[in-house]
Amino acid sequence: MSTVKKTPATRRRSPKSASVPPPCDTCAGTGETATTVRVGRKSREIEATQTALCLDCFGTGTT
């Protein structure tokens, strides 16, 4: 009479909740910042603005 060896049961784990990182302080979570446009040799500022990638979070919006 041969006995069949049973494999051990796998343990079930509860799913981990995904933690949400806090938003970036510089861009307020958007990933973009507004910068003023400079023109001319003297770099005078005009009323126009352009959006740029946030350098603190590199566009992800989180820290």
pLDDT at 1: 61
Q: For residue 61, which of 19, 39, 33 has the smallest C-alpha distance?
A: 33
- Segments of the chain with pLDDT less than 70: 1
pLDDT at 59: 82
* pTM, full prediction: 0.49
For 14, 22, 27, 45, 49, the CA distances from 53, given in Å and listed in that order, are 38, 18, 9, 20, 13
Single-letter residue type at 62:
T
